């Protein structure tokens, strides 16, 4: 009997035969395929546990964090909610989330179960959240537009330089000089910034004192690479080209860096067209550099003020169980967090799926602390890289100073233990090795 079945049976026993309705509320940001899987799992859990209702609410991404933070401050948040890895220190340090009861899962069990870089919510002997998915980065390529630029499967870019050169060559402009095909879809600029930040150095992004490394001259190579693609007459996407839209989904961009979970929306967009796509590993800074991508994850956590913390945790463990991981991967494209699932040779059904799984094996954990505080810094970096001619060094000096101050504040607010564990983990995790 798999873990998911065991949890369902255990939850049923928890009710002691009661027929009165017990409702667990669950919030997460809206994503069509993820919403479908969550609701499917919720109905399964309800069927196995008569008298229990899982009330899911899928909130538009642009509203999600404001609603969640406000609700936590006013004691109106849901019993269970989805959060990114970078909120772990804030939520744990502020006491907003409840650890899983030890009889359901221990820290040792979590360490033996999950990929080593999705344990951000495991601190000391406590498990404060479990990963519902793993996120790495890959490069999507429009096959037809790539061929129009004179490239084929033997030419897929391996290095940053190759990607920049090919993206420039693949960019198309009309007789008036106006862009009609972007070499690179830059709408998910955060993925490009993460590639630049983490790909230029092997050292952890954040030090024990909260300082960030990307502001140092020796770690700025990736940002110069971005500036080379984003500036000048041969830039790979004009700021005014399809603003606020999805060029790759519209078959108007050749390359696109995103998480494997983007596969669902891409396939929906390409359905009924003459276009197909390929996914390959994320290019690296040089041919002899190790394979590298940035790993992160979303977690399901339980509100410390939930009226039934144990039942809420049983739902969480059901919806993120080993069996559920197969459902998440097959139905929504989310990568598994269980080592056993990621290493299952029967999991992958095609070459693209194998690329996704391979990206997990080379992931290095993202080290951002906080979201609402740090994201404006990243947005400012991107704005200055794309809309100004400011020196890259000046852009990063300002950003790193602001970023370090926020990290120092987090250390003051939540203590050094959480930060030390984060830095230690980032320094020791080097992808995944299957048993």
Q: What is the pLDDT along the chain (435 residues), one digit of tens a residue?
A: 333 333 343 444 344 333 346 999 999 999 888 899 999 999 999 999 999 999 999 999 989 999 999 999 999 999 999 999 989 988 998 999 999 999 999 999 999 999 888 888 998 899 999 999 998 999 999 999 999 999 999 999 999 999 999 999 999 999 999 999 999 999 999 999 999 988 877 677 788 788 888 888 878 999 999 999 999 999 999 999 999 999 999 999 999 999 988 888 899 899 999 999 999 999 999 999 888 788 889 999 999 999 999 999 999 999 999 999 999 988 888 899 999 999 998 998 889 889 998 888 878 888 888 888 899 999 999 999 999 999 999 999 999 999 999 988 888 887 777 677 777 666 555 566 677
- Residue 179 inside a domain? The answer is no
Q: Can you read off the two tokens belonging to residue 325?
A: 């991981």
- Residue 81 inside a domain? The answer is yes
Q: What angle do CA 25, 30, 32 make, to 5 degrees?
A: 115
* Residue span of the structural domain in which 75 resides: 3-133+297-352
The pTM for the full model equals 0.87
- Residue 102 inside a domain? The answer is yes
Domain count along the chain:
1
- Residue 180 inside a domain? The answer is no
- Residue 207 inside a domain? The answer is no
What is the phi/psi pair of residue 350, to 5°?
A: -155, 175
- Residue 22 inside a domain? The answer is yes
- Residue 114 inside a domain? The answer is yes
Q: How far is CA 411 from the centre of its chain?
A: 24
- Residue 333 inside a domain? The answer is yes
Q: What angle do CA 264, 61, 371 make, to 5 degrees?
A: 115
CA neighbor of 236 nearest in space, from 169, 154, 289: 169
CATH number, domain of 8, equals: 3.40.190.10
Q: Is the Cα dihedral 340, 342, 343, 348 positive or negative? A: positive
Q: Is the Cα dihedral 359, 361, 367, 373 positive or negative? A: positive
């Amino acid at each position: 009997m798999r873990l998911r079945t065991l949890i369902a049976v255990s939850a049923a026993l928890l009710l002691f035969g009661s027929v009165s309705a017990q409702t667990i509320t669950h919030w997460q940001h809206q994503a069509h395929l993820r919403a479908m899987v969550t609701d499917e799992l919720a109905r399964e859990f309800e069927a196995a546990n008569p008298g229990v209702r899982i009330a899911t609410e899928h909130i538009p991404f642009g509203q999600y964090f404001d609603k969640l933070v406000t609700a936590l401050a006013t004691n109106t948040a849901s019993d269970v909610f989805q959060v990114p890895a970078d909120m772990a220190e804030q939520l744990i340090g502020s006491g907003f989330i409840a650890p899983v009861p030890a009889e359901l899962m221990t820290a040792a069990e979590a360490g033996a179960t999950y990929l080593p870089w999705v344990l951000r919510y495991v601190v000391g002997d406590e498990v404060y959240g479990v990963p519902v998915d793993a996120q790495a980065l890959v490069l999507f390529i429009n096959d037809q537009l790539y061929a129009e630029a004179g490239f084929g499967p033997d030419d897929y870019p391996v290095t940053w330089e190759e990607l920049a050169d090919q993206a420039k060559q693949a960019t198309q402009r009309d007789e008036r000089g106006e862009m009609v095909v972007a070499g690179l879809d830059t709408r998910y600029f955060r993925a490009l910034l993460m590639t630049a930040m983490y790909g230029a150095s092997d050292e952890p992004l954040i030090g024990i004192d909260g300082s960030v490394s990307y502001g140092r001259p020796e770690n700025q190579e990736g940002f110069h690479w971005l500036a080379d693609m984003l500036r000048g007459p041969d830039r790979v996407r004009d700021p005014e080209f399809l603003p606020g839209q999805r060029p790759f989904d519209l078959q108007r961009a050749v390359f696109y860096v995103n998480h494997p979970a983007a596969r669902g929306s891409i396939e929906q967009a390409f359905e009924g067209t003459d276009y197909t796509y390929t996914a390959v590993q994320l290019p690296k800074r040089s041919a002899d550099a190790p394979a590298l991508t940035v790993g992160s994850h979303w977690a399901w956590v339980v509100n410390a003020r939930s009226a039934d913390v144990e039942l809420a945790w049983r739902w969480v463990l059901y919806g993120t169980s080993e069996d559920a991981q197969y459902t998440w991967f097959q139905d929504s494209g989310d990568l598994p967090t269980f080592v056993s699932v990621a290493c299952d040779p029967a999991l992958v059904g095609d070459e693209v799926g194998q690329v996704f799984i391979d990206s997990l094996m080379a992931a290095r954990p993202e080290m951002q602390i906080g979201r609402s505080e740090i994201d404006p810094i990243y947005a400012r970096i991107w704005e200055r890289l794309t809309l100004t001619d400011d020196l890259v060094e000046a852009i990063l000096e300002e950003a790193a100073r602001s970023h370090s101050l926020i990290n120092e504040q987090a250390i003051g607010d939540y203590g050094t233990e959480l930060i030390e564990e984060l830095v230690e983990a980032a320094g020791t995790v080097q992808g995944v090795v299957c048993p």
